[in-house]
């Protein structure tokens, strides 16, 4: 995630050879970028909902073993258990709300960008949001007053 930039002009991987690990890393970058955009848009619409992302760390999972077998073989003794990887998401789901729009690892906020070339500006995040709405053929759920969200059951 930290090393892969979002290709705003090629979100569906149509212009370069497919790479599963790279596509996964880019999808994670998109997820955390959208967390920031969801948080900004919800706050602007007056909706009191926390939107955060988490990173499980490198956990010993079948997906990792299949996607990156060499890395998995060498790093297996250092990998987290699936339960250790899930700790932060369980903590986030059960804690009192303390802000929104953050990325967590080991129950602590972490920086979104570690490599400058992967950083998305606020304008990039808005462009990404609009592209996702267009690709999903969905109306923007937070356009103007959040009446649809406020009226939703649950």
Q: Of the residues 2, 13, 24, 104, which is catalytic?
A: 24
DSSP code per residue over 16-71: S---HHHHHHHHHHHHHHHHHHHHHHHHHTT------EE---SB--HHHHHH-HHH
Q: Is residue 60 part of a domain?
A: yes
* Backbone torsion region of residue 65, taken as left when φ is above 0, otherwise alpha when ψ lies between -120 and 50, otherwise beta: alpha
Return the bridge partners of 80, or none. 59
Residue range 23-31: mean pLDDT, rounded: 90
Residue range 43-68: mean pLDDT, rounded: 88
Q: Does residue 153 have a pLDDT over 50?
A: no
How far, in whole angstroms, is CA 73 from its chain's centroid?
27
Q: Is residue 37 part of a domain?
A: yes
pLDDT of residue 63: 87
The residue that leads in pLDDT, 3 or 53, is 53
pLDDT digits (tens, 9 = 90+) for 100-152: 889 999 999 999 888 888 899 999 999 999 999 999 998 888 764 343 444 44
pLDDT of residue 98: 63
Burial of 42 (0-12, 13-18, 19+ CB in 10 A): buried
Q: Is residue 96 part of a domain?
A: yes
How far, in whole angstroms, is CA 110 from its chain's centroid?
13
Number of domains the chain contains: 1
Reply yes or no on whether 72 is catalytic.
no
Would you state the structure tokens that stand for residue 117, as one six-digit string?
């070339």
Residue range 56-66: mean pLDDT, rounded: 91
Residue with token string 């299949």: 66
Q: Is residue 153 part of a domain?
A: no
pLDDT of residue 108: 93
Q: Does residue 154 have a pLDDT over 60?
A: no
Q: Is residue 89 part of a domain?
A: yes
Q: Rounded to whole angstroms, how far apart are CA atoms 110 and 135?
A: 29
Three-class SS of 80-107? ECHHHHHHHHHHHHHCCCCCCCCEEECC
Q: Rounded to whole angstroms, how far apart are CA atoms 51 and 115?
A: 23
Q: Is residue 128 part of a domain?
A: yes
Q: Does residue 99 have a pLDDT over 80?
A: no
Q: Which structural domain, as residue segments, surrounds residue 33?
A: 20-137
- Residues of the chain above pLDDT 90, percent: 49
Residue range 41-62: mean pLDDT, rounded: 87
Residue range 18-42: mean pLDDT, rounded: 89
């Amino acid at each position: 995630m930290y090393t892969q930039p979002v290709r705003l002009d090629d979100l569906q991987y149509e212009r370069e050879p497919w790479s599963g690990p790279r596509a996964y890393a880019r999808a994670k970058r998109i997820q955390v970028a959208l967390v920031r955009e969801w948080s900004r848009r919800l706050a602007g619409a007056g909706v009191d909902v926390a939107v955060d992302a988490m990173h499980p760390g490198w956990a010993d999972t079948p997906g990792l073993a299949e996607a990156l077998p060499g890395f998995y073989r060498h790093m297996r003794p250092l990998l987290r258990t699936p339960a250790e990887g899930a700790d932060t998401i369980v903590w986030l789901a059960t804690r009192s709300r303390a802000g929104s729009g953050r990325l967590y690892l080991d129950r602590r906020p972490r920086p979104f960008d570690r490599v400058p070339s992967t950083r998305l500006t606020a304008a990039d995040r808005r462009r990404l949001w609009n592209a996702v709405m267009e690709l999903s053929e969905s109306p923007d759920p937070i356009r103007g007053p959040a009446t649809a969200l406020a009226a939703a059951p649950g």
